[in-house]
Structures are given as C-alpha cells and as structure tokens.
C-alpha cells in the first residue's frame, strides 16, 4: 500500500483529524456502498443513483458545508491553509467515489464564491437552507453548447462572448440562453449563472454573474447528461427563457469572470486532488490484487513485469501529490505563480492518473473489464478528468499564456 503518513506530512493536528474522519467515512460507508450497489451507477433514473443517506453521513463528519461561514452554521477552514484542506478532503472522498466528491466540492466552491460576492441577506437565506437540507446542492453555470474550455484561450474579443445574454429591465434582468455540462446541474437547488451583458467588448469586460434559484420562472433543467464516469454526480443542461432575476441577485456586473478567481483557482486544485484520489484507489486495489492473485504458479507481484508497473503507478501518484501540494500552497499564499501552478497541477494529474488507471485495469487481466469486479470504474472516472475544468490542450495553452503574456500567440478573432 501507499504510505499514507507521507500524505499527512506538514498537516496540522486538525487537518489530520479531518483526513482520518474522511478516510473512515470512505472505508466504512462509501466503498461498501459502491461494492454492493454498483448497478445503481448505471441507472437511467438520475434521482435514484445516490441515496440521501450518503450525504447525511457526509454531514455527520462536517464535510458537506465546508466554506460556509460559521455564523450560518457552516464549517470554516483556516484561511492560510483553506485550499490545501479542500484538496486533502477532496482526495479522500474521491478515493471512494469521484462523483460523490464532485457533488460535495461544488457546494464548497460556490460557497466560497457566494461569501465573497453575494449580499448579506442572500447569504443568510441560502447558506441557512444549505446547512438545513442534506440534499441541497449548488452549481456553477459557465459552459455553453457553443463554448467551453476554448473560451479560456486569450479569446477576450466580442466574438467569443457568451451566447447566454442578460438584458437590464425595471427592477432586474431578463436572461435568455442555455448552459450544458454543468456539475450538479441536474439536481441543484441554487445556481450561479454567467451571461453576456455588453456585446461590444471582450468577455472579460462584458460578462456578469447572477444568483438563480431553481424555482425561478423561465428556468428549466432540460436533461441529465449521461457521462462515462463520475456518474454519482448528475451533470445537467439548463435553459433560460425570458427568465427574470431581481437586481439584488446580480453578483458581479460585467467583470464577473475576473472576480471568479476565488472559484477557479481552488477549483483546479480540487480537480487535481479528486483525480489523485482516483489514482490512490486504483493503486490500493491493484496492490491488494497482485499480492493475492496467483498466476503462473506464483502471486502476481513476483512477476517482474507486474512489479515494474506497480512501481510506475506509485511514482506517478507521488509526483502528482508533490506538484499538487506546491500549487495548493501557492493559492493559499496568493503567490504570483499560482495561476501557472494550478493549471500545471490540473494538467499533470489528468495525464498521469490516466496512466495509473490504465495500469490498474490491465494488471487485473480479464477481471479488469468486468463491471461487477469494480476496477474498470477507476479508468472511467480518470478519463473524465481529461475534460473537466478545461481540456488537456487548453490547459497547456493557458500555462504558456501565463508564462509569456507578451509573446504567446492570440488564438481568436474574425475569420479572414
């Protein structure tokens, strides 16, 4: 097994206690549920996949309302280590199931955004409801059918503006448009929605964000996107048709994308951490298998080819952890290289853990591709991270743009 004490190095006593609580939750609740109910992941009735009791158990150890101010009943983390703590917990939960981890971390990330941007009376209303209702979920609605991570190239031109538009009217705004590939989108109760509010400028100057309750007139959850992995989080598609939101539900006017850095940077750290958790699960399950399964008259680990692959898996995992720790610290410190490092961590984790998951499936032989055996799940979950929160190639473009802002190429504009 991986030496878990190395993952605890540098943590405070409180962080170690939180990590141990999460490990116990995963070992005693999440993994037994996944093993006994693997068929539920393939249900085409999204509401029936993950039972409420799992979220209620998460509530018992205090991880459902991380980032919510204590005055509203949430669990605040130490500001100087908040992002690293988010990453630590996300890794542990994803070791059990990455879909469940994504379900929870959307609440954490949106909570951090709302405590920075939402007016006090709306914080009081929605944070209290989040704390009171174990099934309460939040979603961050950015991606559209005609624009996803490609927008994060240097596309700060009017042509790259969001298709979802908000128009000022008496007492509020009218929003029309569509969002897709939204984590928690199918069953969230509260949404942060981004829309174009100035078509004459680039998206960094003309995008606003709004707080939208699910019951808002003109708002429709169109469908659940049936994904390959992370299936215990219900990804959704939303439609806005002449949807009116009052003035106080405007979070940031025109400069919303710049203000959302408090969401984006921790978000990439958390993505890498969830991916790491999938890799740890892949390694632990594989290490157990190769030390107990006999092939060719000896346990698998005694075959040199198997031992080499296992060593490769462990090395990739520790390399991901090292970069993730450095990037997490940079975000907590608000360091000037934080933007570069979070993209590197997200990119590196998605590529390396994919290789770890591939080794895991192949070392299980025929059992590796059997649904009821369970190891194929890590491969399905790992491949999702190649596309979440920016694709691999877009992440590489962003790294170079941040490293060489004056000379890196521009990739948008009208066709010649």
CA 331 to CA 121: how far, in whole Å? 29
Q: What is the pLDDT of residues 7-51, one digit of tens each?
A: 777 788 999 999 999 999 999 999 999 999 999 999 999 998 999
**pLDDT less than 50: residues of the chain:** none
Structural domain boundaries, residue 125? 4-135
CATH number, residue 64: 1.10.540.10
Residue 412 domain flag: no
Three-state secondary-structure class, residue 178 = strand
Domain boundary at 84, 113, 135, which? 135
Give me the pLDDT at residue 413, please: 56
Give me the pLDDT at residue 332, please: 95
Both 52 and 83 in one domain: the answer is yes
Residue 33 domain flag: yes
CATH number, residue 155: 2.40.110.10
Give me the pLDDT at residue 124, please: 97
Give me the pLDDT at residue 146, please: 79
Residue 416 domain flag: no
In the chain, the number of structural domains is: 3
Domain boundary at 77, 100, 135, which? 135
Residue 410 domain flag: no
CATH number, residue 300: 1.20.140.10
Both 57 and 144 in one domain: the answer is no
Calculated CA dihedral for residues 394, 103, 195, 383, nearest 10 degrees: 20
Q: What is the pLDDT of residues 242-283, one digit of tens each?
A: 999 999 999 999 999 888 888 889 999 999 999 999 999 999
State the SS3 of 312-370.
HHHHHHHHHHHHHHHHHHHHHCCCCCHHHHHHHHHHHHHHHHHHHHHHHHHHCHHHHHC
Domain boundary at 224, 256, 288, which? 256
Residue 179 domain flag: yes
Three-state secondary-structure class, residue 135 = coil
Give me the pLDDT at residue 149, please: 73
Interacting residues of 72 by C-beta distance below 8 A, sequence separation 6+ = 123, 124, 127, 128, 131
Give me the pLDDT at residue 3, please: 63
Both 69 and 39 in one domain: the answer is yes
Residue 244 domain flag: yes
Both 129 and 180 in one domain: the answer is no
Residue 247 domain flag: yes
Give me the pLDDT at residue 408, please: 79
Residue 368 domain flag: yes
């Amino acid at each position: 097994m991986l030496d878990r004490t190395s993952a605890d190095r540098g943590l405070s006593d409180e962080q170690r206690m939180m990590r141990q609580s999460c490990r116990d939750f995963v070992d005693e609740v999440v993994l037994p549920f996944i093993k006994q109910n693997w068929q539920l992941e393939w249900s085409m009735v999204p509401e029936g996949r993950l039972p409420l009791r799992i979220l209620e158990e998460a509530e018992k150890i205090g991880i459902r309302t991380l980032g919510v101010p204590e005055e509203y009943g949430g669990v605040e983390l130490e500001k100087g280590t908040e992002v690293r703590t988010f990453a630590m917990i996300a890794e542990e939960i994803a070791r059990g199931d990455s879909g469940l981890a994504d379900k929870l971390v959307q609440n954490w990330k949106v909570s951090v955004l709302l405590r920075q941007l939402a007016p006090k009376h709306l914080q009081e209303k929605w944070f209290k409801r989040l704390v009171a209702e174990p099934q309460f979920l939040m979603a961050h609605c950015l991606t559209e059918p005609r624009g996803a991570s490609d927008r994060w190239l240097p596309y700060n031109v009017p042509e790259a503006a969001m298709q979802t538009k908000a128009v000022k009217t008496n007492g509020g705004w009218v929003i029309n448009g569509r969002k897709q590939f939204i984590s928690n989108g199918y069953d969230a109760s509260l949404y942060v929605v981004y829309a174009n509010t100035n078509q004459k400028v680039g998206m960094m100057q003309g995008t606003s964000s709004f707080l939208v309750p699910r019951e808002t007139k003109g708002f429709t959850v169109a469908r659940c996107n049936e994904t390959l992995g992370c299936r215990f989080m219900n990804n959704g598609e939303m439609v806005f048709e002449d949807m009116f939101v009052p003035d106080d539900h405007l979070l940031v006017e025109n400069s919303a994308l710049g203000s959302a850095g408090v969401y984006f940077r921790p978000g990439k750290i958390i993505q890498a951490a969830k991916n790491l958790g999938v890799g740890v699960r892949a390694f632990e399950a594989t290490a157990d298998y190769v030390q107990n399964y006999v092939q060719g008259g000896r346990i698998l680990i005694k075959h040199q080819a198997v031992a080499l692959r296992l060593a490769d898996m462990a090395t990739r995992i520790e390399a991901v952890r090292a970069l993730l720790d450095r990037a997490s610290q940079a975000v907590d410190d608000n360091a000037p290289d934080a933007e570069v490092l979070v993209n590197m961590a997200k990119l590196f984790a998605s590529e390396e853990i994919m290789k770890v998951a591939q080794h895991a499936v192949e070392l299980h032989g025929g059992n590796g591709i059997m649904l009821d055996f369970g190891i194929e799940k890590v491969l399905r979950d790992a491949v999702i991270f190649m596309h979440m929160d920016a694709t691999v190639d877009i992440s590489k473009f962003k790294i170079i743009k941040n490293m060489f802002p004056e000379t890196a190429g521009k990739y948008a504009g009208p066709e010649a």
